[in-house]
């Protein structure tokens, strides 16, 4: 407003000056006096403000080693010296990130999927079109699972805690190299996955993974006549390997031979104690059943048949290898005389031997 009024006044003055032929000091008929001094009054030029953008220094991550995955980038807020609105985006190795386009804030999350060394920077722009680019800052991403394994509980008698730990560690590091992952067992505080042991869940579960950071490994169950029996090394190894697979984001496999199959048949470190004279033996898992029967009696066998309704099983004396009396079904009472027996169970058709009769799920 002010400058426009001023310009108008100046034009008027020039017009007047044109009338008076020169810029000498003259008097008008009205007695008005115009002087060169007045006409040449230096005019203050319209303020020329050079807009600058301040801020935008990349803060985090800066020179750090971090894990692949979601990374939050932060930088100092960017402001315009003239008060214009400013938006910023980040560039990683010079490339704009679709998840972090121009925005008003000063933090944004990008998924860094691959390990490597990166350079990142902040690019800002004002509503006036002014742009600014920060210097670059480096960081390193590693694809690494550093696993901290809790000590096996002391009550897990049956297997020495060192054996339990060793078996679990072998299962964990079995994934080393899978899909670019590096698996390290650590005892320090910088772990990013944590495993612990559970003596028993009491149901059909031998292990579980919560998300991709915490997992639990079962140490035994009470399928043997209600008495807790420890799993053997191999079972602990498989449970640990299965749950570690989940930690790396591996889903269940439909292949029954895969460690990522959703169920398994545990093996035990100690034989199931035969309840002498009992008429109610639950033969969960035929590997339990290699027992001396002291006196003739009836034994009740109950199985979890799963989807297999054609299950059959057989009790055979330890002396012979042939099974001559198959019992169909999964809940039977069998009379046995005194002697040594083994138990065998098959499923499916006669010629196809399915040695897995009782499965326990890893998860729920
Ligand atoms: Zn699972």
154-173: average pLDDT: 86
CATH code that applies to domain 144-264? 3.40.390.10
Cα(320) to centroid of ligand 1, in Å?
Answer: 39
CA distance 193 to 214: 6
125-129, 134-138, 266-270: lowest mean pLDDT where? Answer: 266-270
* Centre of ligand 1 from the C-alpha of residue 244, in Å: 9
Question: Regarding predicted confidence, which is higher, 318 or 127?
Answer: 127
Tell me how far the alpha carbon of residue 21 lies from the centroid of ligand 1, in angstroms: 101
Q: Quickly state the pLDDT bin for 70 (edges 50, 70, 90).
A: very high
276 Cα–ligand 1 center, Å: 37
The pLDDT score that the predictor gives to residue 71 is 95
**pLDDT above 70 for 283:** no
> In the predicted model, what is the mean pLDDT of residues 299-322?
56
pLDDT at 240: 97
Angle at 227 between CA 221 and CA 233, to 5 degrees: 40
- For residue 179, report the phi and psi dihedrals to the nearest 5 degrees: 50, 35
How high is the pLDDT of residue 86? 96
What pLDDT is stored for residue 28 in this prediction? 52
| 145 Cα: distance to centroid of ligand 1 (angstroms) | 18
pLDDT higher than 50, residue 325 = yes
pLDDT of residue 155: 62
Residue range 53-142 forms a domain whose CATH class is mainly beta
Q: Is the pLDDT reported for residue 281 higher than 60?
A: no
Distance 252 CA to ligand 1 centre (A): 6
Q: What is the pLDDT at residue 347?
A: 43
* Average pLDDT for 253-270: 86
Ion ligand 1 residue ranges (Cβ < 5 Å):
362-363
β-bridge mates for residue 149, sequence order: 195
Grade residue 348 by pLDDT with cuts at 50, 70 and 90: very low
CA distance 82 to 357: 77
Q: What is the per-residue pLDDT across 90-101, written as a single tens digit (0 to 9) for each?
A: 999 999 999 999
C-alpha 251 – ligand 1 centre gap (Å):
7
Nearest-CA neighbor of 195 among 155, 150, 247?
A: 150
CB 124 within 8 A of CB 80: no
3-state secondary structure the chain: CHHHHHHHHHHHHHHHHHHCCCCCCEECCCCCEECHHHHCCCCCCCCCCCCCEECCCEEECCCCEEECEEEEEEECCCEECCCCCEEEEEEECCEECHHHCCECCCEEEEEECCCEEEEEEEEEEECCCCEEECCCEEEEEECEEEEEECCCCCCCCCCCHHHHHHHHHHHHHCCCCHHHCEEEECCCCCCCEEEEEECCCCCCECEEEECCCEEEEECEEEEECCEEEEECHHHHHHHHHHHHHHHCCCCCECCCCCCCECEECCCECCCCCCCCCCCCCCCCCHHHCEEEECCCEEEEEECCCCCCCCCEEEEEECCCCCCCCEEECCEEEEEECCEEEEEEEECCCCCCCCCCCCCEECCC
Alpha-carbon span 283 to 281, nearest angstrom: 6
Q: Looking at the predicted structure, is the pLDDT value of residue 12 above 50?
A: no
- The structure tokens 């080393």 sit at 176
Work out the average pLDDT over 296-322.
57
User: What is the average per-residue pLDDT within 25-45?
Assistant: 55
Q: Grade residue 276 by pLDDT with cuts at 50, 70 and 90.
A: very low
Return the closest-CA partner of residue 323 out of 334, 309, 308. Answer: 334
pLDDT in tens, 173-188: 999 999 999 999 999 8
Alpha carbon of 331 to ligand 1 centroid (Å): 28
Query: What is the band of 359 on the pLDDT scale with cuts at 50, 70, 90?
Result: very low
- For residues 73 and 90, the answer to whether their CB atoms sit within 8 Å is yes
341 vs 256, more confident: 256
Burial of 244 (0-12, 13-18, 19+ CB in 10 A): buried
Give the mean model confidence (pLDDT) for residues 309-318.
58
Tokens of 241: 């390997």
Return the sign of the alpha-carbon dihedral for residues 229, 230, 234, 238.
positive
Are the beta carbons of 61 and 140 closer than 8 angstroms?
no
Cα 38 to middle of ligand 1, angstroms:
92
The model scores a pTM over 0.75: no
Q: What average pLDDT does the segment 60-75 reach?
A: 93
Strand pairing category for 86-92 and 107-112: unpaired
The total of other beta-carbon atoms located within 10 Å of residue 285's CB is 25
> What is the structure's pLDDT at 205?
86
Burial class (CB in 10 A: 0-12, 13-18, 19+), 216: buried
């Amino acid at each position: 407003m002010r400058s426009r009024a001023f310009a108008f006044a100046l034009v008027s003055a020039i017009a007047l000056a044109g009338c008076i032929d020169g810029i000498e000091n003259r008097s008008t008929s009205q007695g008005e006096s115009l002087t060169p001094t007045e006409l040449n009054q230096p005019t203050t030029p319209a303020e020329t403000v050079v807009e600058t953008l301040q801020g935008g220094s990349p803060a985090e991550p800066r020179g750090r080693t971090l894990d692949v995955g979601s990374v939050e980038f932060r930088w100092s807020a960017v402001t315009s010296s003239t008060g214009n609105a400013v938006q910023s985006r980040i560039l990683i190795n010079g490339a704009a990130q679709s998840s972090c386009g121009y925005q008003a804030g000063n933090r944004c999350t990008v998924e860094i999927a691959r390990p490597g060394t990166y350079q990142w920077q902040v690019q800002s722009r004002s509503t006036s079109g002014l742009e600014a680019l920060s210097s670059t800052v480096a960081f390193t991403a590693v694809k690494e699972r550093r696993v901290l394994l809790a000590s096996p509980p002391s009550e897990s008698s049956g297997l020495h805690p060192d054996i339990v730990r060793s078996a679990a560690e072998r299962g964990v590091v079995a994934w080393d190299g899978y899909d670019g992952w590096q698996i390290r067992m650590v005892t320090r505080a910088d772990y990013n996955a944590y495993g612990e042991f559970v003596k028993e869940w009491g149901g059909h579960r031998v292990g579980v993974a919560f998300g991709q950071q915490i997992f639990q490994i079962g140490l035994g169950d009470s399928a043997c006549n209600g008495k807790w029996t420890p799993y053997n090394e191999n079972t602990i190894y498989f449970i640990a390997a299965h749950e570690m697979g989940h930690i790396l984001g591996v889903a269940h496999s439909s292949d029954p031979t895969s460690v990522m199959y959703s169920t398994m048949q545990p093996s035990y470190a100690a034989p199931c104690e035969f309840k002498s004279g009992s008429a109610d033996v639950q033969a969960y898992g035929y590997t339990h059943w290699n027992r001396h029967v002291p006196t003739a009696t009836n034994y009740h066998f109950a199985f979890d048949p799963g989807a297999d309704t054609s299950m059959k099983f057989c009790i055979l004396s330890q002396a012979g290898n042939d099974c001559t009396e198959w019992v169909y079904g999964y809940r039977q009472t069998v009379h046995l005389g005194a002697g040594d027996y083994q138990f065998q169970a098959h499923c499916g058709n006669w010629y196809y031997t399915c040695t897995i009769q009782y499965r326990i799920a890893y998860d729920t």
